[in-house]
Amino acid sequence: MTQTESPAAAAGGAGEGAATFDSIDPRTGEVVGGYPVHDAAYVRSAVDSAREASRWWAGLGFDGRRKLLGAWRKLLVSRIDRIADLVSAETGKPRDDARVELVLAIDHLAWAARHAERVLGRRKVSSGLLMSNQAATVAYPPYGVIGVIGPWNYPVFTPMGSIGYALAAGNAVVFKPSELTPGIGHALAETFAEAVFGGGHRKPVFTVVTGLGETGAALCRSGVDKLAFTGSTATGKRVMAACAESLTPVLVECGGKDPLIVDADADLDAAADAAVWGGMSNAGQTCVGVERVYVVEPVADEFLARVVRRAEALRPGGEPTADFGPMTMPSQADVVAGQLRDALDRGATAVVGGTVSVRPPFVEPVVLTDVPEDSTAITQETFGPLLTVNRVADVEDAVARANATAYGLGASVFSARRGEEIAARLRCGMVAVNGVITFAGVPALPFGGVGDSGFGRIHGEDGLREFARAQAVTRQRFAPPIAVTTFTRRKNAIGRLLTLVRALYGR
């Protein structure tokens, strides 16, 4: 990423003479836009302003916010093509893939706005027999200001899983997009402001800070009430450490090494199609993309032939009709090449492509088979169009290998009869049975992982609650029949309480 000492070249300028950086079209190397590198002081002032605005936003209530988020949703729909072009320019992905990403994000935004009141609004809970003189309620008010740090691979869909849900819950948001996709961050905040405030005074309910890793680190230390991070596991650990200094709660969505299991009775055409699309689409740069396939021996040859046929037909490129685009982050081609070499050195066989497939900025499809389980192509996130396909004796073997990873984000299972049973045995946050990545498109479902894939959830009811703090309230309806929490309690109060408890729970 180029970083230049020049006047701020884009919106949200850090002032005359401030450092700027450029976002680059990875297909051509051309500059897409220049943006300021915001320093810690700027980030802190953005968060302070957002705190002020968060009170207004929270005060609108669920109804008020639903209407305004609806206006944003409509504006986003009308701008799908324009924003998709920007996504293509900053990530290199084909336009239609960018459109799909926008559609999914819009669907999630609609769900979050529509369901926030039901999930987060105050509701009664049973106060139980011992406390039956109390009326008990719980509500989920917003934190205040949420800091969101996002990656570049799905620069709309991924951060919107935090931004849309945090806003629907009543928070203000300060968003630090990846340095590779700052323009998309601005486009999201701009459309929000346009839809919500029109030509009037814009309150900083949803704003963007731009810069490199240090700007993200500054956001962690800026006084935000919660930090939602999506990115690599290594950076996730740094984010957590920085947030720990001020006990700022964190949501951490990190990488994955997702397996796809093919059972003997699976629809092999569908399984091969899913493996290739899940492994190669978006040039393999998908946190829940398929990276490891385990196929049971009896159908392995037939399955592999189908995978090879499909993968061989794919072509990366910069044109709109390409099957997938370039490596968005240039250095990722080296990671793919390194894993490929390691696997081949250890005895893996390339059945599609090989070392010649890595020709930056593009990487052509690579399918490896008989890959040793200790090779880096199996143990580390690849984030490129490289698929490993290993034969296993049976489903038990497949499940054991699928779970033998520090990651635990998503998984796929292809099986006619045992799909859900196999899914239940996988150590991960999400499973698609007879499909791939389908869980991400269902707004009501929580999205997130375990282990090195992070913790906390975006999307669904859990995703809304992630951006709210539970607040419990009890209200005394009448004096307690047995008063024990007073210094003036009767001598026999505890005895009566124990009699009641023995009758209730002692038998």
Helix (H) or strand (E) holding 389: strand 386-392
SS (H, E, C) 193-235: HHHHHCCCCCCCCEEECCCCHHHHHHHHCCCCCEEEEECCHHH
The answer to whether 217 contacts ligand NDP (rule: CB under 6 A) is yes
Nearer to ligand NDP by Cβ, of 154 and 192: the residue is 154
CA angle 236, 238, 243 (to 5 degrees): 95
The answer to whether 254 contacts ligand NDP (rule: CB under 6 A) is yes
The answer to whether 381 contacts ligand NDP (rule: CB under 6 A) is yes
Q: What is the DSSP string of 33-53?
A: EEEE---HHHHHHHHHHHHHH
101, 287, 381, 428: the catalytic one is 287
Nearest-approach distance from CB 180 to ligand NDP, in angstroms: 6
Amino acid code (one letter) for 91: T
The answer to whether 429 contacts ligand NDP (rule: CB under 6 A) is no
Nearer to ligand NDP by Cβ, of 239 and 431: the residue is 239
- What's the rounded Cα separation, in Å, for the pair 30 and 27? 8
Using CB under 6 A, pick the residue from 20, 23, 54, 158 that binds ligand NDP.
158
- What's the rounded Cα separation, in Å, for the pair 370 and 427? 23
- What's the rounded Cα separation, in Å, for the pair 12 and 186? 9
Using CB under 6 A, pick the residue from 92, 144, 216, 278 that binds ligand NDP.
216
90, 101, 179, 253: the catalytic one is 253
Using CB under 6 A, pick the residue from 153, 282, 357, 369 that binds ligand NDP.
153
Q: Which window, 101-109, 118-126, 209-217, 464-472, contacts ligand NDP (CB under 6 A)? A: 209-217
Using CB under 6 A, pick the residue from 377, 409, 413, 431 that binds ligand NDP.
409
**Total number of residues that touch ligand NDP (CB under 6 A):** 32
- What's the rounded Cα separation, in Å, for the pair 135 and 185? 45
Nearest to 240 by CA among 437, 288, 232: 232
The answer to whether 452 contacts ligand NDP (rule: CB under 6 A) is no
Nearer to ligand NDP by Cβ, of 142 and 161: the residue is 161
- Residue 254 known to be catalytic: no
Counting every residue written for the chain, the total comes to: 507
Beta-bridged to residue 468, according to DSSP, are: 142
Nearest-approach distance from CB 133 to ligand NDP, in angstroms: 46
Q: Which residues bind ligand NDP (CB under 6 A)?
A: 149-154, 158, 176, 178-180, 212-213, 216-217, 220, 230-232, 235, 238-239, 253-256, 287, 329, 381, 383, 409, 449
By annotation, the residues acting in catalysis are: 253, 287
